[in-house]
Structure 1
């Protein structure tokens, strides 16, 4: 049996160990790709607890609830925006609870404390003259919530119509002209390349090389838009002092990693042990540039150190095809027939981080039977068998474990899982 996750070495530390997932966009219900990010982060923080029991863990996740796609999704579902976001955000909470993702903090970008953090961060960048207002034109992808450089677009025929698409994502882009606030990303090329020289700052290494090559091959790194007109994106955080502009979704979303640790409240950050820089951001490869270029540049501009490490993973496919609603092959974790521990095990066992993994229910059933029911079940049976343990004795629990059982009701949950096994076993 093998679990293909990066187990990070621990050191005795006074500051908390701070790990995050991305915050997940609530334009649709969660699928196994979202769950995979969460269980990878959860496995890393559990390993940290195992090797450093006295370490204080801060494990942050949450939902990204602003932007054009959210406006469109809420309208499609005939729901007020706040209700739509609350419903989808709760789906993520329930999913993580079902799959034992043991987070400590859940951030919603519609939370008041997050709005305060974003506007404070904005003012800091503005004061340092890294944000300026300008007329902007370019190709914009609603699906990616991102402007795409001309050189990263191409023509493609979709449903008989010639359209422009993003080379990276394949999503349609439309020419947009508007007044925006811009961030001076061009000022940070050298600083970003220096940061990316740090061995292991992006794991696996192939993703670190991708970022380095992108920065080195681009003769000029363009400044990026960090706002949209409020008339186009009203469901967003207003730009401080300019209600005609809304903070752009990526700057808004990325600041969640500071919101979780109490920013900008100095006393709150001290109370949490000043856990910055983050020890690990777990992300998918589709958001690598935002976390490996934009986010460290924003932090550098605000005089904050960039994260210690990004753990980047590839995608899950179905029948070797990317999951998409149009193909009808999106796998919803809560619709899978087997119990959550089986799917969680498969996700951690099967994927290799650097390459896309392929999901099939047949594989899930076979792995569950051979490795969980047979191998692990046989081991448990032998350990409890009369030949090895004729008197049926069990060692006493350590005092610390007893205290945990009393506090978290671990024993009751374990007993409940065992009692449900007979009813679930036939589905294997």
Structure 2
């Protein structure tokens, strides 16, 4: 269902949008535009940053498989604010930003995240976009100066409503969401008239599909119900000098969150062009939901621009059932030893296979070890070894299939149903459920192979040919379906099966190989160990 812009109601300051259901299957288009948040450079990348990137990457790879059209994935780094300047210490702040930003690029490339644009908030193009956006709001009289007071969290760089603070026994206050200390602060700032777009924001939120999963949509509505107050969108430059100056007011720096959110417009070409707008999906973690689901759409509506079609919010990762934190010493750097131990594709598989949207997931090295050995090395890799091993398939061919084997109808039916089952899960960003369906098919295929006992048959018999052919077809189907999750491994698998690049799309799952040809096919001759079994130990 296409997004419909309501032309009938058009005020001088904003546009109104009709809420309509937007499933990902309906977001397929020539310019599918998906984003990760830009990552804050006050610290090096960790497992959570990687997971967010993988979710967005898997989603855009799936869209490409379905539509055969280009997609656009943007990511980048958020480089302004007092925390960044503090983290830089004695190092030149820009040099520090360069170093940490490069670490994020390195991580993305290591894990095959196929991004189209990497934006940095210290770039000239971004600063230009932020200041142009400011002037756009200023021209609509939606920015004014005023005294702003409230509980300010230095660590979060945000004012926190009193209703979301807690008073400790010693009289101090903390943010009830982050647990970090807050202090009462009064200062003169520029404020954004978010109250002016309240009705339009509520209208956008009427569509329960604009924020997914549903629990997060309900949470945003709860927040909105607490009341609307105009938002401070600057900080005094003497307090936050490392930021983008307010146009014509160098004594103020633009609030780091307003600066950061505008990155999505920067990558779309603002202020010169917006050919890719609006964003189809913002992928974010639950800790930044408030900014993306309230402040960001409000800013866009105020500027006369469409808000995002969908915000997909995921939960966090724990490590051995504990929250990841520097104080606990359990922050995992995905560029380090963990990648060498489990491989980049192995970690891609585990994170997308185990990560859930609605609740926090748990990272355990023992669990990674067991799952990769059982599923990638075992169910998938072992099945490939069985049907391409020289003892059963000495000529390295894909033989002709003839139906009628005992038990083959169950596997054939499972293969027919797999594309539709997994497609729905991919559309809902439930990658773990898609992998579950694949594993069930692989279990059925391995059971089929065991039951048929091909090692007891004549090598050139029709029965042997059919067993090998059906098993290879299982691998082809599974290989295509799993491309968003493990693109490198599935690429190697499909190459071994001699499946051309142009025949690796979702549409190619509609028919089986034997529906198109009755001729024997030749496999690639080189031996492939798809995923070597990991050694003993954690």
Say whether the fold is shared (TM-score over 0.5). yes
CA RMSD across the alignment = 2.2
Counterpart check, 1:232 vs 2:217: no
Structure 2 residue runs of 5 or longer lacking an equivalent are: 1-22, 398-495, 505-527
Structure-2 residue corresponding to 1:4: none
Deviations 1:8-54 (Å, cap 9, x if unpaired)? 3256534x00000000000011111111100000000010011111x
Residues 180-229 of structure 1, C-alpha deviations (whole Å, 9 max, x = no match): 1001112222222211111311110100011112212x2x3111110001
State yes or no: 1:66 paired with 2:80.
yes
Give 1:407's aligned residue.
Answer: none
How far, CA to CA, are the matches of 1:51 and 1:204 in structure 2?
22
Which residue of 37, 56, 60 maps to 1:45?
60
What CA distance in whole angstroms lies between the structure 2 residues aligned with 1:296 and 1:194?
11
For the residue of structure 2 that corresponds to 1:39, the secondary structure is helix
Q: Distance in 1 between matches of 2:175 and 2:532?
A: 50
Quick one: which of 125, 128, 152 aligns to 2:140? 128
Aligned to 1:349: 353
Map of 2:377 onto structure 1 = 373
Q: Which residue is 1:409 aligned to?
A: none
2:28 paired with 1:21: no
Q: 1:361 to 1:183 in 2, by over 3 A?
A: same
Work out which of the residue numbers 136, 140, 144 in structure 1 matches 2:152.
140
Name the residue aligned to 2:320: 319
**Structure 2 counterpart of 1:199:** 208
Structure 1: stretches of 5+ with no match in the other structure = 1-6, 403-417
Please give the residue correspondences for 1:269-308 in structure 2 after superposition, counting only pairs within 5 Å.
269=274, 274-308=275-309
In 2, Cα distance between the equivalents of 1:201 and 1:85? 33
Q: Specify which of 248, 261, 266 is matched with residue 254 of structure 1.
A: 261
Of the candidates 165, 174, 198, which is equivalent to residue 165 of structure 1? 174
Q: Against the structure 1 CA distance between its residues 388 and 13, is the aligned structure 2 distance closer, same or farther, given a 3 Å change threshold?
A: farther
Looking at structure 2, the residues matched to 247 and 276 of structure 1 have their Cα atoms a distance apart, in angstroms, of 24
Q: Do 1:143 and 1:171's aligned partners in 2 also have CA atoms closer than 8 Å?
A: yes
**Displacement, 1:367?**
0.9
User: Which position in structure 1 is the counterpart of 2:7?
Assistant: none
Q: Distance in 1 between matches of 2:379 and 2:306?
A: 46
Aligned 8 A contact 1:8 1:44 in 2: no
CA distance in 2, matches of 1:32, 1:228: 31
Counterpart in 1 of 2:101? Answer: 89
Instruction: Give the corresponding residue for 1:408.
Output: none
**Is 1:242 matched up with 2:249?**
yes
Structure 1: distance between partners of 2:387 and 2:254: 58
Aligned to 2:220: 211
Aligned length: 392
Quote how far apart the aligned CAs of 1:288 are.
0.4
Instruction: Give secondary structure in 2 for the equivalent of 1:116.
Output: helix
Is 1:152 aligned to residue 164 of structure 2? yes
Deviation per CA, 1:320-361, whole angstroms, max 9, x where unpaired? 221111111111112313211111111101121110011111
Tell me, what secondary structure is at the counterpart of 2:269? Answer: coil
Answer yes or no: is the 8 Å Cα contact 1:339–1:424 preserved in 2. no
Question: In structure 1, which of residues 89, 94, 104 is the aligned counterpart of residue 116 of structure 2?
Answer: 104
Greater relative CO (CA pairs within 8 A, separation 6+): 1
C-alpha deviations, 1:207-255, integer Å up to 9, x for none?
Answer: 0011112212x2x311111000110111000000100000000100000
Q: Which residue of 1 aligns with 2:500?
A: 398
Structure-1 separation of matches of 2:267 and 2:39: 15
Does the aligned pair in 2 maintain the 1:10–1:51 contact within 8 Å? no
Structure 1 segment 323-342 matched on structure 2, within 5 A: 323-335=324-336, 336=338, 337-342=341-346
Partner of 2:471: none
Alignment pair present for 1:384 and 2:388: yes
State the TM-score, normalized to the length of structure 2: 0.70
